[in-house]
Amino acid sequence: MEDPIHITFHTFDRMAGESLKHDVTPEPDVERDRVEHFLMRTGRPLPNVVVLGHNLALRCRQIDELGGAATGVDAGENVIALAKLRYPGGQFQQGDMRKLPVDTNAFDGVWSGSVMAHIPRTEVAKAMNSVHGCLRPGGLLYVRLPLGDEEGFVETEHGPVYTVRWSPDQFTQSIGALDFDLLESFELSDTELGMIFRREY
């Protein structure tokens, strides 16, 4: 069976390719207060943060403007190209989140946004192991967690997208073995939670 993550992020890369042809304007400046709260929770004067997934350019720009230093990572060539056009001053690298192309034990935070909505449950440990490796002990992870129990492909006009929903306890347990401790969670909508975890060791 072909890798669901590869299939999904290829679809997202195709979408980014279409945007490159038609629209490279910056995304609306949303959730800045949430980003600022996350940076403050790191306790660092200049927090280094890896950004994954949706709104890559926007999140990197917000982190930089709020006093952090962001590195955006995505597997898609077009996604990276679009991010560079939308935020020319940003730092971006192409790479798989299951093997992040960044230094180990070097970052104060990882902002994963809605990435967890597309990682099969069987792959979460591998993806989170890479995230754990890039964080310093005490570093923070932000997750936008989709709620429910569905898992599988959904067809879109751009191609198939693998979607996964979780219960908060199920997700917390799935990454707890990697020494991630839940610090706080808050409702984003009826179907999503924001969650902040800390790497303990």
Per-residue pLDDT at 86 exceeds 90: yes
Q: What is the CATH number that goes with domain 4-22+31-199?
A: 3.40.50.150
Question: What distance in Å separates the CA atoms of residue 181 and residue 26, rounded to the nearest whole number?
Answer: 34
Q: What are phi and psi of 85, to 5 degrees?
A: -70, -40
Mean pLDDT of 7-18: 93
Q: Count Cα atoms within 13 angstroms, Cβ side, for 187.
A: 3
Q: Give exposure, 70-85, as e/b (b: 16+ Cβ within 10 Å).
A: bbbbbbbebbbbbbbe
pLDDT of residue 28: 82
| Domain boundaries of the chain, sorted by first residue | 4-22+31-199
Per-residue pLDDT at 2 exceeds 90: no
pLDDT of residue 106: 97
Average pLDDT, the chain: 94
pLDDT of residue 53: 84
Question: What distance in Å separates the CA atoms of residue 1 and residue 19, rounded to the nearest whole number?
Answer: 30
pLDDT digits (tens, 9 = 90+) for 126-177: 889 999 999 999 999 999 999 999 999 999 999 999 999 999 999 999 998 8
pLDDT digits (tens, 9 = 90+) for 14-42: 999 998 888 677 778 889 999 999 999 99
pLDDT of residue 14: 94
pLDDT of residue 87: 95
Mean pLDDT of 113-120: 91
Write down the pTM of the prediction.
0.94
